[in-house]
Amino acid sequence: MVSDGVSRLRAEIGASGFACMPDALDATRFGALQAEASVRRQEALRACGDGDVRYRSRVAPLGDVARAFLAGSELASALESVFDDAYAYEEEASCYTYYESGDFLGVHRDRPDECEITVIVYLHAQGRGADAPDTGLRLDIYSGGDTDERRLVHFIPTRTGGMVLGRGAAVWHARPPLLQDESVIALTACFRARTRPSDGT
């Protein structure tokens, strides 16, 4: 799965917190995830937030195909190779996410108790792409801490077939509002280190 080099991924994550593996999945698995996401879309619910983190999208629970992929040995091996630790996915913090025109995800960091490592698989991305003004087909990465002024330092274009890996709990990131005729379907998953005990257990 880590076909384009662990060293490149580590370097990019070290520099900005996130990296992208284009065409990371084989055609059979990718097609199965696309098919499941299409079925799950029928039960997707509107998700909106106007608090500390502003967002708008639709989300649907995982199906058996997504669960098998996220819990599988191939992805586990890839994450361990890149991040030097063993990780398990958090099902309650993972979902299929559907973005359409006007949908967005504000600047935020993921919750460290459930999302040390963020994995995003882009199952569908439609639109003019990262070169369009103000496109939503990109993941923006920001510098700065809790009190520092944050500034955009990097972005990763959203393309069908790409898989993004990153330290979502440590690095500020966002998705700008999608433009007219833009849409994204993603498998969005959260992982935490297996060596860290679950809260309350």
Q: For residue range 54-106, list pLDDT tens digits in order.
A: 999 999 999 999 999 999 999 999 999 999 999 999 999 999 999 999 999 99
Distances (CA, A) of 89 to 35, 120, 134, 198, 201: 21, 12, 32, 12, 17
Mean pLDDT score of the chain: 92
Q: Are 144 and 151 in contact (CB under 8 A)?
A: yes
Residue 157 tokens read as 């274009």
Output the pTM of the full model: 0.93
Could you tell me the residue ranges of all domains in the chain?
Answer: 6-193
Instruction: Report, in angstroms and rounded to the nearest whole number, the Rg of the chain calculated over CA atoms.
Output: 16
First to last CA, the chain: 33
- For residue range 145-154, list pLDDT tens digits in order: 766 678 999 9
Which residues make beta-bridge pairs with 48? 56
User: Which of 113, 103, 115 is CA-nearest to residue 171?
Assistant: 115
Top-tier CATH class for 6-193: mainly beta
- For residue range 151-190, list pLDDT tens digits in order: 999 999 999 999 999 999 999 999 999 999 999 999 999 9
